[in-house]
């Protein structure tokens, strides 16, 4: 069975690095746990770090978090669905919202549950995913400000998740101006201005964050230490908190080119030979016990750089080990470094084991 391993020490060091960055600047931050897909083993590791605020986009995951530690502040980080309102009020202390209709339902449900539900209003700032349009914000705010059992905790924005719009200093200044506008119009104070996700970490390191922006939601930077502006690893952080381990189930010298009439494979791809390909060449290939059901090869890279990925079917991954300096044998493990999306597929699969180093 293929398995993914979390390296506890590296996770701790990444968390401490980020906590220093935000703490020294007086910024509140929460861990985005959606990558973990509700895995209780890994959720406990996050909580053991001393995390007080966890964000997720699945109500079922927030339910698990509350069961493990009711004191954790839980945040639902996408606009609530109508059919999930009761559970969101029950398991999420805060939710992100963009629709008056939805907030009214949250208000009605919070009244039933005898709770005050807190919300953050998300503002559209160019990435074209969720968010209230800026020119409608004052009218929107005016219609929800007096709704019973609703407490408006702040405003926020989401960037770089759909269209790739980056959270520049100008974008965050604009978000700060929305805060000033609302406070002046309604004579209130907005506690939180949530400036984005891991993509904003480089702005913290450059001290380019407007002071009014005082909250961030961090997932990818915690688990992968990635600077999403450059694609490189942030100095002082680890990019290999997670690794994938797969077992070799076959090793055979095989031709480089398939023979026979070619059609689409199970993934809908048709094999195309390179012009330089020689019909007589062969390579030493290993088959690994993982496939497209559990992972996407483009988000994985063999730790042994002498190994290359050939292709995958639903349950098997073929790699070329011709240049490997190891004496690979049946039953040996082949390790892979994985990117965020690769880990998301793997952690969502019940066929992949989950372990801790």
Catalytic residue annotation: 34
The bridge status of strand 53-56 relative to strand 28-32 is parallel
* Integer Cα distance of 51 and 45 in angstroms: 10
Buried b (16+ CB within 10 A) or exposed e, 32-70: bbbbbbbbeebbebbbebebebbbbebbebbbbbbeeee
Strands (E), 202-313: 215-218, 242-255, 282-288, 300-302, 308-312
Secondary structure (DSSP) of 47-58 = HHTT--EEEES-
Q: Given CA atoms 34, 40, 45, 51 in this order, what sign does their dihedral have? A: positive
Distance (Å, whole) CA 274 – CA 214: 53
Q: Distance (Å, rounded) from C-alpha 111 to C-alpha 90?
A: 12
Q: What is the chain's alpha carbon radius of gyration, rounded to the nearest angstrom?
A: 24
**How would DSSP label each residue in 8-56?**
HHHHHHHHHHHHHHHHTTT-EEEEE-GGGTT-HHHHHHHHHTT--EEEE
Confirm if 283 and 256 have CB atoms less than 8 A apart. yes
Q: How many whole angstroms separate alpha carbon 322 and alpha carbon 254?
A: 11
CB atoms within 10 A of CB 12: 16
Using the Cα atoms of residue 140, residue 142, residue 147 and residue 149 in order, give the sign of their dihedral.
positive
Instruction: Scan for tokens 């960037």, then name that residue.
Output: 159
172 in Cβ contact with 203 (< 8 Å): yes
């Amino acid at each position: 069975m293929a398995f993914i391993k979390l390296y506890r020490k590296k996770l701790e060091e990444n968390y401490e690095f980020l906590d220093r960055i935000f703490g020294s600047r007086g910024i509140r931050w929460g861990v985005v746990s959606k990558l973990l897909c509700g895995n209780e083993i890994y959720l406990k590791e996050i909580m053991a770090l001393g995390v007080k605020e966890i964000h997720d986009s699945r109500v079922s995951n927030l339910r698990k978090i509350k069961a493990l530690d009711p004191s954790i502040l839980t945040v639902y980080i996408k606009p609530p669905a109508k059919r999930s309102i009761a559970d969101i009020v029950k398991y999420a202390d805060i939710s992100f919202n963009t629709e008056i209709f939805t907030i009214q339902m949250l208000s009605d449900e919070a009244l039933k549950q005898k709770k005050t539900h807190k919300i953050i209003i998300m503002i559209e700032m160019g990435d074209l995913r969720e968010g209230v349009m800026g020119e409608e914000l004052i009218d929107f705010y005016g219609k929800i400000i007096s709704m019973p059992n609703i407490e408006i905790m702040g405003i926020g924005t989401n960037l770089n998740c759909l269209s790739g719009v980056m959270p520049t200093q100008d974008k965050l200044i604009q978000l700060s101006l929305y805060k000033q506008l609302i406070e002046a119009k309604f004579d209130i104070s907005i506690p939180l201005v949530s400036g984005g996700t891991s993509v904003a970490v480089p702005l913290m390191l450059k001290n380019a964050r407007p002071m009014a922006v005082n909250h961030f939601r961090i997932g990818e930077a915690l688990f992968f230490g990635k600077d999403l502006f450059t694609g490189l690893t942030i100095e002082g952080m680890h990019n290999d908190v997670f690794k994938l381990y797969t077992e070799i189930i076959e090793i055979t010298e095989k031709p480089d080119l398939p023979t026979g009439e070619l059609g689409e494979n199970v993934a809908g791809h048709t094999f195309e030979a390179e012009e330089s390909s020689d019909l007589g060449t062969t390579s030493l290939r290993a088959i690994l016990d993982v496939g497209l059901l559990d992972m996407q090869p483009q988000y994985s890279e063999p730790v042994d750089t002498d190994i290359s990925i050939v292709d995958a079917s639903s349950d098997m991954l073929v790699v070329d080990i011709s240049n490997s300096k190891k004496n690979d044998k049946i039953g040996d493990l082949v390790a892979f470094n994985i990117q965020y999306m690769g880990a998301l597929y793997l952690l969502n699969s019940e066929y992949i084991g989950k372990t801790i180093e």
